[in-house]
Amino acid sequence: MQVIVLPDADAVGTYAGDLIADRAEAGTLSVLGVATGSSPLPVYEALERRASPAVRGLTAFALDEYVGLPIDHPESYHAVIEREVTVRLGLDPARVHVPDGLADDIEAAAAAYERAIVDAGGVDLQILGIGSTGHIGFNEPTSSFASRTRIKTLTPETRRDNARFFPSLDDVPLHCVTQGLGTIMDARSVLLVAFGAGKADAVAAAVEGPLTSMCPGSILQMHPNATVLVDEAAAAGL
């Protein structure tokens, strides 16, 4: 695991955006795993500045989606990914995939999502944020390291963290569909970005703590090509 500490969120975004655009232009990255949350936003801003034909030609797979939220709800991950990734980078919407949180048969839709990733050739680089519980995607503590895309119950802490995007805590969905830790580990490279003092404990637990499903991000210690890009505040616990 490579840990790179940079002065601030802009520097992290620029570093990551340049790395992704360089690889897209060199032809070594065609399938990008994208994440929601505030952490990847500086990466998308930097990538927007580098939106060459190679970047615009990327295929993208999102990590997760709320269950039961209409896709035109502004906080559905369909809407967030469309706004922050598809439109910003000028991607072809037909090549941008988000798990289906509205399917009648979520299990079948999750299995189809896994197949779509494989059919696209697998994820070349997965962007990740990390939640205060140590979750990646929406894989909350106790998630199996072998898990695949599936329905999960959100922890009260994650619902409270994400309540800032909704009118009230009661409006935050109870369930989500998320790529599993096993799915994420299949990406050929992963890039975790985190900023601010609020992430210091989760970053320290994921990077230097014991390998444990109580901190799902710790599985990245086992990834052969994982990079953690943090600002100084998020690195404070290292």
Residues forming contacts to ligand GLP in the complex (CB under 6 A) are: 35-39, 63-64, 129-131, 137-138, 158, 162
Going by C-beta distance under 8 Å and a sequence separation of 6 or more, which residues neighbour residue 233? Answer: 195, 196, 197, 199, 200
At its nearest, how many Å lie between ligand GLP and the CB of residue 12?
12
At its nearest, how many Å lie between ligand GLP and the CB of residue 23?
21
Nearest CA to 130 among 226, 206, 77? 206
Of 134 and 209, the one with the shorter C-beta distance to ligand GLP is 134
Nearest CA to 37 among 82, 92, 75? 75
Question: Cβ(137)–Cβ(184) under 8 Å?
Answer: yes
The DSSP symbol for 154 reads P
Of 57 and 238, the one with the shorter C-beta distance to ligand GLP is 238
At its nearest, how many Å lie between ligand GLP and the CB of residue 26?
27
The CA distance from 231 to 225, in Å, is 20
The CA distance from 129 to 203, in Å, is 10
Of 52 and 194, the one with the shorter C-beta distance to ligand GLP is 194
Of 36 and 59, the one with the shorter C-beta distance to ligand GLP is 36
At its nearest, how many Å lie between ligand GLP and the CB of residue 188?
19
